[in-house]
Structure 1
């Protein structure tokens, strides 16, 4: 199991998303704890890199890094347009 850690910027962004996005974001966190590699490569030209994106809800996008040695998912950004 991986620990999900939020960058301070991602923490601010997550705190600012609307109430309708909170449940999908929580579901994403739960998924990332057990399947961190389930996202899409941040850079399609480098599909094996540890920086990924994952959608959540209807419009959300999370950008994160998988740190296998630390068993950590480091969330960089949370976007909800």
Structure 2
């Protein structure tokens, strides 16, 4: 299991999510805790890079950094385009 660290700006973005997005984000959070490498590479030219992006629902993304030696995931950005 990975420890998830949410940066202040991302926490504000999570707080601004609409009600319908919250259960979807909760599922994404669970993925980050258990299998963060399931997210797609943030930079396609670096498929093994630590910077990743996970889609939640059809309108949201979480951009994060995986620090494997520390078993940590750092949430950098949460976007909802709905």
Q: Same fold by TM-score, threshold 0.5 exceeded?
A: yes
Q: TM-score of the superposition, structure 1-length normalised?
A: 0.96
Q: Which residue of 1 aligns with 2:28?
A: 28
Q: Which residue of 1 aligns with 2:73?
A: 73
Q: Which residue of 2 aligns with 1:59?
A: 59
* SS of residue paired to 2:53: strand
Deviation string 1:17-71 (CA, Å, 9 cap, x unpaired) is: 1000000101111111110100000000111110000000120011000011111
**Quick one: distance in 2 between partners of 1:70 and 1:27?**
23
Q: TM-score of the superposition, structure 2-length normalised?
A: 0.95
Gaps of 5+ in 2: none
**Quick one: distance in 1 between partners of 2:45 and 2:57?**
26
* SS of residue paired to 1:46: coil
Q: Which residue of 1 aligns with 2:39?
A: 39
